[in-house]
Structure 1
Amino acid sequence: MSKLIANVTIPDSKLALEAAELLQEHGNELLWNHSNRVFLFAAIQGNQNGVKFDPELLYISSLFHDIGLTSKYSSPDKRFEVDGANAARDFLRSRGVPEESIRLVWDSIALHTTLGIAEHKESEVALMYFGVGYDVMGQNFELISQTMRQQVVDAFPRNQFKQKILPAFLEGFKHKPETTFGNIKSDVCELLLPGYTRPSFCDCVLHSKWSE
Structure 2
Amino acid sequence: MIQEVAGIKIPDSKLAKDAADILRDYGNDLLWNHSNRVFLFGAVNGVNAKQKYDLELLYVSALFHDLGLTKQYSSPDLRFEVDGANAARSFLQQYQIPDGAIQLVWDAIALHTTPGVAEHKESEVALLFHGVGLDVMGDGFDQFPEHLREEIIQAFPRNNFKQEIIPAFYEGFKHKPETTFGNMKEDVVQYFRPEYKNKNFCQCILHSPWSE
Percent identity (aligned): 62
Contact 1:174 1:193 (8 Å CA) reproduced = no
State the 1:199 CA deviation.
Answer: 2.5
How does 1:174-189 map onto structure 2 within 5 Å? 174-189=174-189
Mapping for residues 67-86 of structure 1, pairs under 5 Å: 67-86=67-86
Match of 2:55 in 1: 55
| 1:6 alignment counterpart | 6
Match of 1:210 in 2: 210
What amino acid sits opposite 2:96 in the alignment? G
Q: Which consecutive aligned stretches of 4+ in structure 1 deviate over 4 angstroms post-superposition? A: none
Query: Structure 1 residue 158 and structure 2 residue 158: aligned?
Result: yes
Shift of 1:148: 0.8
Contact 1:107–1:125 (CA under 8 A) maintained in structure 2: yes
Q: Give the 3-state SS of the residue equivalent to 2:90 in structure 1.
A: helix
SS of 1:142's equivalent in the other structure is coil
Which position in structure 1 is the counterpart of 2:143?
143
For 1:125, the aligned partner's letter is V
Which segments of 5 or more consecutive residues in structure 1 lack a partner in the other structure?
none
Where does 1:79-98 land on structure 2 (aligned, <5 Å)? Answer: 79-98=79-98
- Distance in 2 between the 1:130 and 1:99 partners? 24
SS in 2 for 1:96: coil
1:113 and 2:113 matched: yes
The residue type equivalent to 1:183 in the other structure is N
Q: TM-score normalized by structure 1?
A: 0.98
Deviations along 1:11-36, whole A, 9 cap, x unmatched?
A: 01100000000000000000000000
- Residue identity opposite 2:24 in structure 1: Q
Letter in 1 for 2:133: G
Unaligned runs of 5+ in 2: none
Partner of 2:44: 44
Residue 168 of structure 2 aligns with which residue? 168
- Count of aligned residue pairs for this structure pair: 212
Query: Counterpart of 2:198?
Result: 198
Q: 2-side partners of 1:182 and 1:194: how far apart?
A: 17
Give, in whole Å, the separation in 2 of the partners of 1:137 and 1:205. 32
Deviation at 1:38, TM superposition (A): 0.2
